[in-house]
């Protein structure tokens, strides 16, 4: 009955079974949150689950960010779960951050990425990651 899963491994999403307990807890907290969470927000939520040290949260966040399962919003010093299973790659990631309700919309845009790539090519700049953070108001907040 030993079926090999190797044939499909290239297509599997990284929604990893191999997360540590802490990584799973932290990812869960981010996934169930409506908005971005700071490391301390996460720690607060997970105290009941046995997480007590900020370092435990930071370590888990580092790994999740490294794997593309979560992203760090530099301008907020906060984290969000990756909204898009296609983006586990080192391309351009853009976030529209609503200053009204705190909602964050994650998207990727191939055209912007291409343009930045052209620019970097011309300048000989080696891009490691690009994160765009757009501040403003979401459609619901504008309408309210």
Chain contacts with Zn ion (rule: CB under 5 A): 82, 84, 87, 98, 100-101, 103, 138, 141
As measured in angstroms, the least distance from the Cβ of 47 to Zn ion is 27
What is the sign of the dihedral through the CA atoms of 115, 125, 97 and 13? Answer: positive
Q: Which is nearer to Zn ion, 30 or 82 (CB)?
A: 82
Q: How far is the CB of 123 from Zn ion (least distance, A)?
A: 26
Residue (73 or 141) nearer to Zn ion, CB: 141
* Cβ neighbour number for residue 54 with a 10 Å cutoff: 12
CB of 31 vs Zn ion, minimal distance in Å: 12
Rank residues 51 and 97 by Cβ distance to Zn ion and give the closer one. Answer: 97
Handedness of CA 88, 109, 115, 139 (dihedral sign): negative
- 130 forms bridges with which residues in the sheet? 92
Beta carbon of residue 116, minimum distance to Zn ion (angstroms, whole number):
17
Q: What token pair was written down for 35?
A: 């908005």
- C-beta closer to Zn ion: residue 49 or 94: 94
What is the Cα–Cα distance from 96 to 130, expressed in whole angstroms?
Answer: 14
């Amino acid at each position: 009955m030993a079926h090999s899963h190797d044939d499909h491994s290239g297509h599997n999403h990284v929604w990893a079974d191999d997360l540590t307990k802490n990584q799973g807890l932290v990812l869960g907290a981010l996934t169930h949150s409506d908005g971005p969470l700071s490391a301390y927000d996460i720690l607060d939520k997970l105290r009941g689950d046995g997480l007590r040290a900020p370092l435990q949260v930071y370590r888990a966040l580092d790994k999740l960010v490294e794997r593309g399962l979560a992203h760090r919003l530099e301008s907020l010093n906060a984290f969000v779960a990756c909204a898009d299973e296609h983006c586990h790659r080192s391309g351009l990631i853009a976030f529209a951050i609503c200053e009204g309700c705190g909602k964050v919309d994650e998207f990727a845009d191939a055209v912007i990425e291409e343009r930045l790539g052209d620019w970097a090519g011309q300048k000989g700049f080696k891009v490691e990651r690009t994160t765009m953070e757009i501040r403003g108001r979401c459609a619901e907040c504008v309408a309210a």
